[in-house]
Amino acid sequence: MPTDIIVETSVNQTRIGVVEDQKLVELYIDIEMKQKTVGNIYRGVVKKILPGIQAAFVDIGQEKNGFIYLKELEETLSKEGNVRRLKEGGYITVQIEKEAMGTKGPKLTSHISIPGKYIVFIPRENSIGISKKIDNEEERNRLKSIFEKYKPKNCGIIVRTECGGKEEEEIIREIQFLAVLWESIEKKEQYVTAPVLLYKEVSSALKIARDLLSSKIRHYIVNDINLYHEVRNFINEISPELTEKIQYKDEEHLFQYFLIESQIDKALQRHIWLKSGGMIIIDHTEALTVIDVNTAKFVGKKNMEKTILKTNIEAAQEIARQIRLRNIGGIIIIDFIDMKAEEDKKMVLNVLSQELKKDRVPTTVLGITKLGLVEMTRKKTGPSLTSLLFNRCPRCDGRGMTPSIKYIGDHIEKEIDFIFTHTIYTKIIIEANKEIIEWFHLNGYKEALEKKYNKSISFIENNTLTNENYKIIKEK
């Protein structure tokens, strides 16, 4: 199955799509004006210790203090022989595990880990863990013997799935690369004044290249020449044999070119039609995600049981793709069309399980409940696609959804691009409410667009308009 990674950069964001057999299966969005911090390592200052909630708050130099569980902090200090330093004003090296959200600061961990392409390097540990997806016992033993021989002292290693089958030389090179990186971080610890950033995790474009680019990937295509050179240089350091897979394409709207844009729009819809005429419906609640399957337009020709089985199998394949694409985490309940034969039920569950193996995020199919529902879980790894691009609707008390400012802003930008590149108009006036206008002025976004097209954009504030009901006036 041909798999490509498509990276499209624009004025205010970078979007990365993983495409399998021309179908979008994973989507990552990096908003330039919102810096991601997960994976960053800081030297912080313990500001408050709250035994009542078993947590400590640590100043890492951000607007909000991060929080860390007290037990974890004590374990780390104990390993360092610094139990007595566990007090307010003490120093601790921490890593951001979850971004700050709302009034909460970032969630921190003192269990530092530095991911590479083939391994995750864990300083101040002494263990070797191997991915369960490497299930060949002979290969597991081979890898274990390599790491036992070359692993630096006082560090742990988690062997990633991609490490399976790799030559010893490649593995040693990555161990050495990450060991040197950690050594440089340790040196900084000694002379910097906390709070301070010790290590910054690479951008999403580099991270995806590091984690996903392999012999199985056909191309990594990017539309920004500077990013193209950055990714090539980065990959050349860790996997030189993969460098030639990175390609530059001078196409501004790369997602449209590869027919990805329409697939994103479909991934935001509640209803998804299947090729057979069946349908799946996806609903999100606070506690879980519910997915319903029905035959809809597909009624079959003769055998109803075969019709139901065919619809359920097709639905299982599409559900697995949608879960990855929408980044749905937590508890997921699937209501397949009722099947009488146990053999048919097993077949559908087997198809679902096989399709979910393509997902890098851990998933577990728990089986069929007494009510005939399939119950499964998927690890939460950041915001879902829906929550990233939509906001809760304030006009219906949070029961529905409305497009986010970012989503509307992206659509306005596409209209601006069409007008300035395909028509004779040289000036645009956008009539919109205050929220939309403020978004365009954030971090010089309006000025960046004007500079890009060398044309004028101005605004008229009209707060009687909803976010979606903006107006564009064109002038020559």
Number of domains present in the structure of the chain? 4
Lowest-confidence segment of 66-80, 99-113, 374-388 by average pLDDT: 66-80
Q: Which of 349, 342, 296 is CA-nearest to residue 320?
A: 349
Domain membership of residue 147 (yes or no) is no
Domain membership of residue 274 (yes or no) is yes
Helix (H, G, I), strand (E, B) or coil at 159: strand
Strands of the sheet containing 119-123, edge to edge, are 114-115, 119-123, 155-159, 128-130
Average pLDDT, the chain: 87
Indicate if the pLDDT at residue 399 is higher than 60: no
Boundary (domain end) residue, out of 95, 111, 127: 111
Residues 410 and 345 in one domain: no
Domain membership of residue 349 (yes or no) is yes
Residues 334 and 273 in one domain: yes
Residues 344 and 433 in one domain: no
Residues 272 and 372 in one domain: yes
| Helix and strand counts by DSSP (H, E) for the chain | 13, 26
Helix (H, G, I), strand (E, B) or coil at 237: helix
Whether the ω angle into residue 195 lies within 30 degrees of 0, i.e. cis, is: yes
- Give the pLDDT confidence of 106-146 residue by residue, as tens digits: 899 988 999 988 899 998 888 889 988 888 899 899 999 99
Q: Which residues, in sequence order, are CB contacts of 137 under 8 Å at separation 6+?
A: none
Residue 431, strand partner residues: 460, 471
Q: What is the CATH number of the domain that holds 330?
A: 3.40.630
Instruction: Report whether 327 contacts 284 (CB < 8 A).
Output: no
- Give the pLDDT confidence of 254-299 residue by residue, as tens digits: 999 999 988 888 888 888 888 888 889 998 877 889 999 987 766 6
Boundary (domain end) residue, out of 51, 85, 111: 111
Residues 363 and 276 in one domain: yes
Q: Which of 43, 66, 93, 39 is CA-nearest to residue 202?
A: 39
Domain membership of residue 173 (yes or no) is no
Residues 287 and 354 in one domain: yes
Tell me how long the chain is. 476
Tell me the mean pLDDT in the region 47-67. 87
Instruction: Report whether 189 contacts 198 (CB < 8 A).
Output: yes
Q: Which residues, in sequence order, are CB contacts of 14 under 8 Å at separation 6+?
A: 7, 8, 29, 30, 32, 203, 204, 205, 227
Boundary (domain end) residue, out of 111, 145, 168: 111
Residue 469's pLDDT band (cuts 50, 70, 90): confident
What kind and span of H or E run contains 234?
Answer: helix 225-238
Distance separating alpha carbons of residues 289 and 178, to the nearest angstrom: 39
Domain membership of residue 462 (yes or no) is yes
**Full-model pTM:** 0.77
Residue with token string 């790894």:
381
Question: Cα torsion at 82, 87, 91, 97 (round to 10°)?
Answer: 100
Residues 353 and 282 in one domain: yes
Domain membership of residue 432 (yes or no) is yes
Q: What is the CATH number of the domain that holds 59?
A: 2.40.50.140
Which structural domain range is residue 17 located in?
Answer: 1-36+219-267
Which pLDDT belongs to residue 166? Answer: 85
Indicate if the pLDDT at residue 83 is higher than 50: no
Indicate if the pLDDT at residue 218 is higher than 50: yes
Which pLDDT belongs to residue 5? Answer: 95
Helix (H, G, I), strand (E, B) or coil at 10: coil
Indicate if the pLDDT at residue 318 is higher than 90: yes
Which pLDDT belongs to residue 400? Answer: 65
Which pLDDT belongs to residue 250? Answer: 92
